[in-house]
Structure 1
Amino acid sequence: MKLPDSLRDQLKIPLGLLLPENQADKINIQKHLLPNSYIVTVGDRTTKKMIEFGLIPSLQIIDGQEKREKKDPPKLANAIELTVENPAAEITPQSIDVIKNAFTMKPPVRLFVVGEEDLLVLPVCIHAPDNAIVLYGQPNEGLVIVRITPEIRNKAQSILDLME
């Protein structure tokens, strides 16, 4: 499924709460987590930041790049590592299948995307467990924190349905 130009502006609107960059610290992030939260990070910088805070994401989706520059992924011991190809501005059926499967595995799980991971926030929000909190970066603005609810699942699904 490819992202049509008509949807680009809609995807610039955060799916959840936007924590400005200067407030995206451990204390403010923890305020939005429950003790049993299944934390999902999408993006290398977000994943690295959470690991540095000692908040190990259950599922981490990275592509080895930050703002189009190659970066070494953050170190993490004992993670199950998966790989999937997902071209920029697309969501492949394989990516959706791997994400669904990742939710059945013992955390932490790291999904390395060959291509681009940005849009994978949508299938994550649709298929994540009910106790999930999804974190992703909003470029040059801050950190988006999404608590998975039926409304979020429906919103993500309706955006996905508009992709070609």
Structure 2
Amino acid sequence: MHSLGLVGGTFDRFHAGHRALIEYGLSNCERLEVWLTSDQIAQTKDPRIESWSERSLKFVESIGEKSSQISIHLLEDEDGPAPWHENATAILCTPETALGCQRINQARESNGLAPLEILKVEHVIGHAGKPISSSRIRQGEIDKDGQSYLPANVGEADFILTKEVEANLKDPFGELFEGPEEDTGVAIRAVLEEIFGSHGPIIAVGDVTVKALQDFGSPADIALIDGKTKRQKWEEASTIDTSLYDERLTCKNPAGQLNTDLFHACAGALEAWSNERKTTLIDVDGEEDLAPLLLHPMAPLGAVVLYGQPNRGVVLRWTGSDSKSRCRELLAAMDRA
């Protein structure tokens, strides 16, 4: 048993893989020094990474009673104190960081110190047989336990709205920005101020919302339209500028359903944005009202989903673990066909 071990990393969105790493460390070391990457370094990797204070707080909360065996420190360079630390005798790593630990030991020998025992911990495997990672969580693929936010048969079965789910959807699913129906600009202006600087795609569901964003010179990154408002044909739908989008997809989706056609269209649009920042217009033959239930589980963290609330304004919902989890629960409660 080592008296003191070292471990460093970003530790963003503390997950099951992080937990396995720390538990292995504590099974081999009486105490651990955890060096969390500074905000300055972390933000160069991904601006969606949480702040140092948030990461350190969630780390302690997640470890629970074992936190008394851990001290947390600020990591401001690649190696931290490891090359010259006189009290530590072990260092934790994952397969990706093993070479870095070997480099640290070479530096220690140059400094006249004994090498650290390298305690390598394998990845915890999550959904789709891939390792659980913070990047996969930020990308929206999995939760902190490595599970998908989508039901196993999504994309293969049609999901049918039930009365139970419908009742849960009556209230706005997000923050309502109120504005007169005859002037959608009032609500959209407030929404654009709220989401300024967002890192995820802006997703608009519904012709009126899509058109309002275009009128303000801020077209959505992903837009879903069906030519209707309040389930009635909307004459102004023809004024939506389809040329503003890199891609245009069409699909069929009957009212009260989330079918496989709509799922694959949404998945394709999100993939195009994530991989190449391409914008997409999805033209739905039927209705797109329920699409947010698919979009949130698939979208990266920090995405923005907007839709109109008849006679009231525009609803904004950020994509986060809470919105993803709620949509997962609602999808699970729907019937299959």
1:18 counterpart (163, 173, 176): 176
Which sits farther off after the overlay, 85-94 or 99-108? 99-108
Deviation readout 1:74-98 (Å, 9 max, x if unpaired): 1132421101110000000221122
CA distance in 2, matches of 1:124, 1:141: 23
Map of 1:7 onto structure 2: 165
What is aligned with 1:151? 322
Runs (5+) with no aligned partner, structure 1: none
Unaligned runs of 5+ in 2: 1-158, 181-185
Do the aligned partners of 2:200 and 2:300 also contact (CA within 8 Å) in 1? no
Residue of structure 1 equivalent to 2:216 = 53
Bigger shift: residues 63-72 or 148-157: 63-72
2:313 is matched by which residue type in structure 1? Answer: G
Taking structure 2 as the reference length, the TM-score comes to 0.46
More helix by share: 2
Instruction: Write the distance in 2 (CA, Å) between the matches of 1:163 and 1:66.
Output: 24
CA distance in 2, matches of 1:109, 1:20: 27
Q: Name the Cα RMSD after superposition.
A: 1.5
TM-superposed CA distance for 1:46, in Å, is 0.6
Change (3 A) 1:98 1:161: same
Worse overlay, 29-38 or 95-104 = 29-38
Q: Paired residue for 2:7?
A: none
TM alignment of 1:1-164, pairs within 5 A: 1-22=159-180, 23-26=186-189, 28-35=190-197, 36-71=199-234, 72-73=237-238, 74-79=240-245, 80-105=247-272, 106-164=277-335
Asked which structure has the greater RCO (Cα within 8 Å, sep 6+), the reply is: 1
Shift of 1:141: 1.7
TM-score normalised by the chain length of structure 1: 0.92
Report how many aligned residue pairs link the two structures.
163
* Structure 1 residues 105-163: Cα deviation after superposition (integer angstroms, max 9, x where no partner): 14320001110000011101111122311000112221100011101000011111111
